[in-house]
């Protein structure tokens, strides 16, 4: 799908490489609490250094709103990266400016530099041309390895590509795009997709696109409510807005056999109580799928050739209401099919049930993952394609 050059196709010897990564990691008492995102980009960093390049590492951390927020500094991240690599990572408390320029120009072979939080500068999130040009001036080449941010058109992943000719995707970006393109373009059939979660508005476009290419689309959590209502089942007005219901009706008309809906749910009645979809209490929270639905979903997953999963089946963090999510995770991990899983809550479920190592590929992206599943072009990927074609 995407004609992108990657970092393993670049001549990096003696070049300063502006490297955009996603190091938006949790900090606790000024220390990195989870270094999985750092570990994910280590192969790209090590490749650049191994090929004689000098990485200038850039990332955002949280949402400081274009202001300098000391507790959101990337300094602790640079310290953790130093520990993981065994090499000193120089850190400069600027994003652009004289100190950043001096630090970048003084880089020697085998050394690396990390800049301060990109979002300390208001120009980052608005894709300011002047800010993008200043970032680009620090380096000879550019590599984007931040797939999780590829759905954002910011200065550090889109604007900067206008001012550096030598651009490429990183090794993590390569794996992410290949994994997603594999299931969207040429999956082993049947392609079974499980979609859950609580916010229908953020996923209805994804469901629409996937309904056209998936053999079976399993809808759990709140995702099922518009479709049940479209079939004439009373789920309560507050559980399905009108627009989502209209879109659900179109999907049911176009691909009625591909959509697999719940037959029962678990509600909070002072504890777990299971009810048929035709008897949902208006005044009780629906927090999980029920046993008949779990069996139906598990059967579909067992027959799959390729599996995609995004979104828990209910409020799995709450005791007594994790059954659906746990059983879906177990069914996917037990399947010999190629499995692709993405999304923050979904990835957390993999860890909770200790099945991550039995999933074929776990995406680091949340929003970007959903955007690609929706069939949309990611701005940062488009920028790399354009620059690669024009190179």
Residues labelled catalytic: 37, 199, 344, 367
DSSP letter assigned to residue 32: E
Of the candidates 347, 348, 47, the residue with the CA atom closest to the CA atom of residue 170? 47
Tokens in use for 210?
A: 């996937």
Q: What angle do CA 263, 267, 272 make, to 5 degrees?
A: 110
Neighbours of 297 (CB within 10 A): 25
Q: Which residues pair with 341 in a beta bridge?
A: 309, 362
Q: Judge whether 309 and 341 are in contact, CB under 8 Å.
A: yes
Q: What is the CA radius of gyration of the chain?
A: 23
Tokens in use for 291?
A: 């046993």
Q: Judge whether 235 and 262 are in contact, CB under 8 Å.
A: no
**At which residue do the structure tokens 């629906």 appear?**
286
Task: Give the Cα separation of 115 and 142 in Å (integer).
Answer: 15
3-state helix, strand, coil in the chain (%, to 5): 45, 15, 40
């Amino acid at each position: 799908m995407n004609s992108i050059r990657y970092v393993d196709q670049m001549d990096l010897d003696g070049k300063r490489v502006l490297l955009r990564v996603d190091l938006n990691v949790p900090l606790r008492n000024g220390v990195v609490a989870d270094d999985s995102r750092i570990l994910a980009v280590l192969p790209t960093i090590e490749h650049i250094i191994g090929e004689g390049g000098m990485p200038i590492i850039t990332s955002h951390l949280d949402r400081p709103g274009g202001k300098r927020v000391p507790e959101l500094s990337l300094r602790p991240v640079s310290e953790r990266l130093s520990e993981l690599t065994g090499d000193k990572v120089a850190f400069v408390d600027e994003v652009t400016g004289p100190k950043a320029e001096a630090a970048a120009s003084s880089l020697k072979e085998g050394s690396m530099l990390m800049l301060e939080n990109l979002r300390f500068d208001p120009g980052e999130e608005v894709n300011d041309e002047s800010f993008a040009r200043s970032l680009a001036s620090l380096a000879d080449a550019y590599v984007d390895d931040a797939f999780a941010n590829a759905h954002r058109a910011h200065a550090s992943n889109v604007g900067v590509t206008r001012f550096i000719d030598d651009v490429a995707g990183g090794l993590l970006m390569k794996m992410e795009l290949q994994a997603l393109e594999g299931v969207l373009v040429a999956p082993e059939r049947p392609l079974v997709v499980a979609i859950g979660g609580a916010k229908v508005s953020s996923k209805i476009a994804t469901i629409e696109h996937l309904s056209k290419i998936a053999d079976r689309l399993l809808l759990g959590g709140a995702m099922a409510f518009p479709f049940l209502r479209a079939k004439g089942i009373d789920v309560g007005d507050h559980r399905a807005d009108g627009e989502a219901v209209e879109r659900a009706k179109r999907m049911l008309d176009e691909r009625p056999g591909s959509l697999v809906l719940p037959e029962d749910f678990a509600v909070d009645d002072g504890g777990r109580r299971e009810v048929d979809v035709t008897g949902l209490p208006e005044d009780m929270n629906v927090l999980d799928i029920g046993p008949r639905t779990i069996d139906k979903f598990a059967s579909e997953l067992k027959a799959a050739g390729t599996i995609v999963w995004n979104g828990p089946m209910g409020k799995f963090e709450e005791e007594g209401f994790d059954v659906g999510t746990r059983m879906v995770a177990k069914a996917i991990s037990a399947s010999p099919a190629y499995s692709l899983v993405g999304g923050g809550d979904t990835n957390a479920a993999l860890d909770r049930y200790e099945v991550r190592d039995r999933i074929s590929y776990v995406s680091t992206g949340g929003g970007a993952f959903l955007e690609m599943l929706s069939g949309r072009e990611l701005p940062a990927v488009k920028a790399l394609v354009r620059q690669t074609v024009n190179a």
